[in-house]
Amino acid sequence: IFHTQDIMLSERCLLRHFSSTGFWGLVNNAGISTFGETGWLSMEKYEKFADVNLLGSIRTTLAFLPLLRKYKGRIVFMSSIIAYFTLGNGIYSMTKAAIEKFCDALRLEMKKFGVQVCIIQPGNYARFTKIQPPVSAEEIWNELSDEEKAVYNKEYVQEWANFFNSILSEGSTSGNEVVDAMVDALMSPAPKARYMVAKLKEKVLVFMCALFPTVVMDSVLSYGLSK
């Protein structure tokens, strides 16, 4: 995860060592995840996730944008299908949705410079990336404020944790498809704006979210969560 000083040093290093060949590709891959309903998470945690998942990518992109414009390069962002819906990790979903909109604006603005912007949208690769370890209901309960404990109970938290852990256990154990998509985004003469790398049922859920009215999808997701 780059901080401002790290980015400035990296940029100067690249200018010094690659001035003859140019700086052609940037991949923004930093990301962290956690579990919890909206009121369970502290403001500090929201700020941390926004800083890493969203502002970290923006910070790095802005630092290298002059070089990428100069050499007509590529910028690749790691998003997720969770940008379209949320199942217990709204904080992660929020940052990915924001990255999608940042990329949409950047992609249009960079066309006139010959810079191509691509988004990778993986499905559930939790078992491969280890981005989200299994959650502990006991730890979640102990971190809840007194106000939240007055609304929820341990049984509810345990059921949620079991549900979320079951999702994690279904994740793919190999990330080769995601890596292939990243390589294609960097090397293809005509890269896609979006690469959705997900299972069929995940893609169906995404397309349902895009096509069906919100009230319908809220009912579908609420029903799924209740089970």
pLDDT (mean) for 71-88: 92
Average pLDDT over residues 87-106: 93
Amino acid type, 113 = F
Least confident among 110-114, 144-148, 184-188, 218-222: 218-222
77 and 117 Cβ atoms separated by less than 8 Å: yes
Catalytic residue status for 92 = yes
Which CA distances in Å does 165 have to 16, 112, 212? 47, 45, 28
List, for residues 33-49, the tens digit of each pLDDT value: 888 888 898 899 999 99
Threshold 0.75, pTM exceeds:
yes
Answer whether 7's CB lies under 8 Å from 60's CB. Answer: yes
Per annotation, catalytic residue among 84, 92, 125, 195: 92
Handedness of CA 112, 115, 116, 119 (dihedral sign): negative
CB 80 within 8 A of CB 131: no
The CATH architecture to which 4-133+174-226 belongs is 3-Layer(aba) Sandwich (3.40)
Sign of CA dihedral 197, 203, 207, 212: negative
- Looking at residue 74, what DSSP letter applies? E
Question: So where are the chain's domains?
Answer: 4-133+174-226
